[in-house]
């Protein structure tokens, strides 16, 4: 028969302060895992979207046809995101300004590039969503756990002071809850830190692809303007 303290008993018999610490850390851990899974799906989709759109863009397809394909996808309630959104913003503004006729080439390029910068900022904001929360959990959780550890150790010594004879049974519950609080702090922090670092690298990779595409697309539009002027 095992007479040791079970995990449930340890939590139920812990002081209110330590229970509060455990609850906060448990809540932070659950929220972190939800964000970790969600961000993985979003960033993985964005990376696949980069590869997929670049293949279509560099396949030699006419830019107007590529734009129409995106419009048709939107009409079919298929979400257009990432690099394709940047392309659509730039190409739409480019065509709108060029159709006005009286605007010179440099103004057209400036307008198209400005539209792409705005689209890029919006896409970057979508990808970065909730990542700062993971960083906060990773940095704060160990200290919250440490606070629970201090409370647990204090309770252990207070229990020891109240007894005439010092025994392991007197100090064990307080020490156990102190160590459990430390463990929960690390359990919440480690996945959040790992995910934040991994996703930050993935985010940099995706956004670098966006910036490179924006520069390349700008060059293509610039060549189109000068080709039309020569004609």
What pLDDT, on the 0 to 100 scale, is given for residue 60? 83
Query: Quick check: 3 pLDDT over 70?
Result: no
- Rounded to two decimals, the pTM is 0.82
Mean pLDDT, all residues of the chain: 86
Do 143 and 185 form a contact (C-beta atoms < 8 A)? Answer: yes
In angstroms, the Cα distances linking 96 to 64, 74, 228, 230 are 13, 20, 15, 20
Query: Quick check: 138 pLDDT over 90?
Result: yes
Task: Name the range with the highest mean pLDDT among 59-73, 95-109, 163-177, 217-231.
Answer: 59-73
* Residue 213: alpha-carbon gap to chain centroid: 22
Q: Which of 5-9, 48-52, 154-158 has the lowest mean pLDDT?
A: 5-9
**Reduced to 3 states, what is the DSSP secondary structure of residue 111?**
helix
Structure confidence at residue 165 as a pLDDT band (50, 70, 90): low
Do 127 and 203 form a contact (C-beta atoms < 8 A)? Answer: yes
Give the pLDDT confidence of 100-130 residue by residue, as tens digits: 875 778 888 999 999 999 999 999 999 999 9
Domain residue ranges in the chain: 14-230
């Amino acid at each position: 028969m095992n007479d040791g303290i079970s995990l449930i008993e340890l939590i139920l018999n812990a002081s209110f302060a330590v229970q509060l610490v455990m609850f906060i850390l448990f809540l932070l851990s659950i929220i972190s895992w939800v964000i970790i899974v969600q961000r993985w799906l979003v960033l993985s989709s964005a990376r696949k979207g980069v590869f997929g759109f670049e293949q279509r863009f560099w396949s030699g397809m006419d830019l107007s046809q590529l734009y129409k394909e995106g419009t048709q996808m939107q009409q079919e309630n298929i979400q257009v995101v990432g690099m394709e959104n940047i392309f659509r913003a730039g190409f739409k503004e480019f065509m709108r300004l060029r159709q006005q006729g009286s605007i010179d080439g440099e103004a057209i390029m400036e307008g198209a590039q400005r539209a792409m910068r705005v689209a890029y900022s919006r896409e970057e904001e979508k990808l970065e969503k909730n990542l700062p929360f993971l960083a906060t959990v990773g940095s704060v959780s160990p200290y919250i756990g440490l606070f629970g550890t201090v409370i647990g150790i204090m309770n252990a010594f207070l229990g020891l002071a109240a007894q005439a004879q010092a025994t392991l049974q007197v100090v064990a519950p307080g020490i156990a809850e102190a160590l459990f609080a430390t463990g929960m702090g690390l359990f919440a922090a480690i996945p959040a830190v790992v995910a934040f670092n991994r996703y930050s690298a993935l985010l940099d990779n995706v956004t670098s692809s966006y910036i490179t595409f924006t520069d390349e697309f700008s060059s293509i539009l610039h060549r189109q303007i000068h080709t039309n002027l020569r004609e």
